[in-house]
A and B are shown apart, each in its own frame.
Chain A
């Protein structure tokens, strides 16, 4: 079989044997709905996974993630257990704020206290993002992350 024929056969076989699942296409289409033009994006500035070798011995240490806009930082301690995903958060500068954890299919609201601390437990093990609205601050949300 010539390369062109074999290539074509392979292309059609791949498309049939391993297509993008319809549910994933639908979720990708829906992803546009997460765009929030009024919020500042807090990008990932540190990830405790970065310091580890690819095949590090597994431990149960929590994962530490830091996100920042130019003005605020959101530090998270992320743990994943039988009860779901838990977040312990710290806002920098430390202010009271409304906090919402968003994910496909729902959200959980909580509040950061006057020392900028908050916690949420029992979250689904999915892509998550944290939205923060402190008094007098622009709304911000972290990049998507997961445990």
Chain B
């Protein structure tokens, strides 16, 4: 399979090529979903943000002249749409308000049979106990395929140079939670 070329794909999709569009959706969906979920949105609201992001790309193909900007554009758009949703809804907890994360770790809305092993279940539970800023960062950089550190930096609003150290610190916290759970 030919390697994904963002510039070629945008140009073709803008002209109506469904296959090129589907390649773009396939390449960036995990990252866009991760950004949406990183705002502590439940799956219905994350779906709203996810859908909005793709609608915006169809509206604004012409704004992306350089294919290397596509990932950053999509992640930043997902961030804007998440913030817009929070403003529109006005009944959601604001980011960083300290309220319990409704999304990760508590198994709500999640088919636990999908978790293949006790190890995965334990990891998911431990993840849900991380501070929110770690959950946000790890969700975004461990999307599959992941955004680049530059793209992650834009959406997480931290310097690119901070991502590596923060990642290490958050993984260490996750490891500590896992170890203490095993007891």
Q: Residues on A close to B: CB < 8 A?
A: 1, 3, 6-7, 9-21, 23-25, 27-29, 31-32, 34-35, 37, 41, 49, 52, 54-56, 58, 127, 143-144, 146-147
Pairwise interchain contact B54-A13, C-beta atoms closer than 8 A:
no
Inter-subunit contact A11/B142 (CB<8 Å): yes
Number of interface residues of B (CB under 8 A): 55
| Other-chain residue from A25, A37, A144 in contact with B52 (beta carbon distance below 8 A) | A144
Least CB distance, B43 to chain A, in whole angstroms: 7
Contact (A13, B50) CB under 8 Å given A25-B29, A54-B86: no
Shortest CB-to-CB span from B159 to chain A, Å, is 20
Name the contact of A35 in the complex, choosing from B58, B144, B168 (C-beta under 8 A).
B58
Give chain B's interface residues, CB within 8 Å of chain A: 13-14, 16, 18, 21-22, 25, 29-30, 33-34, 37, 43, 47-48, 50-52, 54-59, 61, 84, 86-88, 90-91, 94, 103-104, 110, 114-116, 119-120, 123-124, 127, 138-139, 142-144, 146, 167-168, 171, 174-175, 178
Docked complex Cα distance between A15 and B142 (Å): 9
